[in-house]
């Protein structure tokens, strides 16, 4: 069975998201007990070939491996190799 591939779209603050994408962040924040009033940093991914998005809040992860585990656990998907590099750059810059 082929897994979905998740691709990096954006990294920044919650308030920087387009309004139509904030619903994805609100849902994930609710599930993860993240306070959106603090304008958390996040990474936005697209499930390749769909209009579905997945959000990872930087406060939830320490490294790319954490992001990969979350994507596998929550979506049964894998992170594309280009996206792994992008996530590593984002996480390294946030430290």
Torsion of the alpha carbons at 43, 31, 34 and 86, rounded to the nearest 10 = -10
Number of domains in the chain: 1
Collapse the DSSP code of 24 into the 3-class scheme (helix H, G, I; strand E, B; otherwise coil) and give the result.
Answer: helix
Phi, psi of 16 (to 5 degrees): -80, -15
Global pTM value: 0.93
Q: Are the C-beta atoms of residues 57 and 34 closer than 8 Å to each other?
A: yes
At 11-70, the pLDDT tens digits run 999 999 999 999 999 999 999 999 999 999 999 999 999 999 999 999 999 999 999 999
At 2-13, the pLDDT tens digits run 689 999 999 999
Domain range for 39 is 5-94
Helix, strand counts (H, E) of the chain: 3, 4
């Amino acid at each position: 069975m082929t897994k979905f591939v998740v691709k990096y779209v954006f990294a920044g603050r919650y308030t920087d998201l387009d309004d139509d994408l904030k619903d994805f962040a609100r849902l994930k924040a609710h599930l993860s007990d993240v306070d959106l009033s603090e304008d958390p940093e996040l990474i936005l991914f697209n499930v390749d070939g769909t209009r579905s998005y997945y959000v990872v809040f930087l406060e939830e992860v320490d490294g790319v491996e954490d992001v990969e585990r979350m994507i596998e656990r929550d979506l049964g998907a894998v992170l594309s190799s280009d996206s792994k590099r992008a996530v590593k750059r984002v996480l390294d810059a946030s430290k």
